[in-house]
Amino acid sequence: MTKYIVVTGGVMSGLGKGITAASIGRILRDIGYRVVPIKVDPYLNIDAGTMNPFQHGEVFVLKDGTEVDLDLGHYERFIGVEVTGEHNVTTGKIYMSVLEKERKGEYLGSTVQIIPHITDEIKNWIRGVAKKTNAEICLVEIGGTVGDIEGMSFLEAIRQMHNEESEEDFVLVHVTLVPLDSGGEQKTKPTQHSVKELRSLGLHPDVIVGRCKERLLPSTKKKIALFCDVPAEAVISAHDAEEIYEVPLIFKEEKLDEYLIKKLKLERRSDDKTWDEMVKKLKTLDREVTIAVVGKYVHVKDAYISIREALKHGGIYSGCKVNMILIDSEELERFEDFQFDVDGILVPGGFGHRGSEGKILAITYARENDIPFLGICFGFQLAVVEFARNVLGLENANSSELSDTPHPVIDLLPEQREIDKMGGTMRLGDIEVTLKKGTIVYQLYNRDKIYERHRHRYEVNPEYIPEFENAGMVFSGYSDNGRRMECLELPSKRFFVATQFHPEFKSRPYSPSPPFAGFVKSALEYSLENR
């Protein structure tokens, strides 16, 4: 029998519902339960694949290739699970499914309405995922804020589920804001109004998580409990932490695990300390490195979340704190001469011409100054372009995605050109990659077959590969029986590695991505030698 924990948010967006849900999942996993997460996004898009990172932040890619909201990344990193597109529910998916059923006549001529058809579809979807994955606890985060019109059908479906499930099988967690006034007093009125809004929809929170800059005072908790009709032990402080990975430990300090055990009638099967030990190590790192991430979405805090976290994971592995600085690749194009005072340079994924020349300048700087370099996806492709221009001497070499070039060293494969439509030939999700023995990436992974997640269309043009290899570039990983290049490296350099895939999506704080672990380790060695 699956138990359900639903997380909603009030007052304002951006309070950290995703981190809250992921942290709850972690503490339940640590006591021995199989937790399966689901993220509900009330927007009409089918998925996040076409969303602008400037508006929505990072697009996270799952193993089955589904492009989803960044909170799914938090779930995978915290809970240690790999999910699929079924675990991301959007209004677009729900309406499409209902309308397809209506067209097939599955509703037997009924007038199709929000209630019961849309709400039934939502409930069936959630329960179907829980059953398919054999979840003991299904963790459901409802995106947006209580009161948003687009989220009403989901909240109504949750209200119905609350009534249909037994009391010990359903917990509603509501995340709210507890701001400080000018005198530093913790104010509970926003929480009171948010819970009032929730109750007007027929939902009553079992747990209230108060986001505040400072730990909630006992008097604040007592006031929230009194006015919102929950036990004082069910008011949980989610005060600011230096690291997001501390939040599960804060929840344990707040005894949220004990309350959920009591409320859901669970037992403490185990007491896994892996997470605690990882956080302790993270908090005691006494060396530092600085990594420059050169991209075009640098003004959006959430655009490179998985990159930032994977660098952090590499730091935990290497025993150093990673300071990530974001450099606007468009701004870089305006300088004739520049210097990076960093220990490593990373060029991440992206699409389109804007800012691409700035990224190439950064790659040139890393190669010529022998600074540790890691290129990812578009960064891999631009490393090929940079080498073609500046080492092979192929003037105006480029990707055919970016310009009409006489030397398309990055191009669509022949079969892609025939069927290509925008996004139509995108390679997405887990793909098997073969690594060449004796190479850097083989040493990093310590095996010859790996599965990594992809999100790209263009490939290294096979016609130019012999020229690259003769000049010292090694294509150390490939897929599709050798037709597609997946990794490159320059053995003559300290650490110059790039991957067509996105290793950051599989990185975990207790199990770092091998390319990131190797990159940060090399950056630390560089730092110790040069600083």
Residues annotated catalytic, as ranges: 377, 502, 504
* Contact present, 348 and 377 (Cβ < 8 Å): yes
* Contact present, 338 and 332 (Cβ < 8 Å): yes
Main-chain phi, psi angles of 522, to 5 degrees: -65, -40
DSSP 460: E
d(CA 261, CA 268): 8
d(CA 161, CA 127): 10
Tokens matching residue 192: 């009171």
d(CA 279, CA 275): 6
Query: Which residues are paired to 139 by β-bridges?
Result: 5, 37
Could you tell me the CA-to-CA distances from 101 to 116, 152, 225, 229 in Å, in that order?
Answer: 14, 22, 44, 41
Q: Cite the DSSP H helix spans in 110-255.
A: 119-132, 152-164, 189-200, 218-228, 247-253
Could you tell me the CA-to-CA distances from 463 to 413, 414, 466, 498 in Å, in that order?
Answer: 11, 12, 7, 20
3-state secondary structure of 366: helix
Angle between helices 119-132 and 152-164 (to 10 degrees): 60
The torsion region of residue 245 among left (phi > 0), alpha (psi -120 to 50) and beta comes to alpha
Burial of 357 (0-12, 13-18, 19+ CB in 10 A): middle
d(CA 328, CA 355): 8
* Contact present, 350 and 479 (Cβ < 8 Å): no
Residue entry with tokens 């790659």: 363
d(CA 318, CA 472): 28
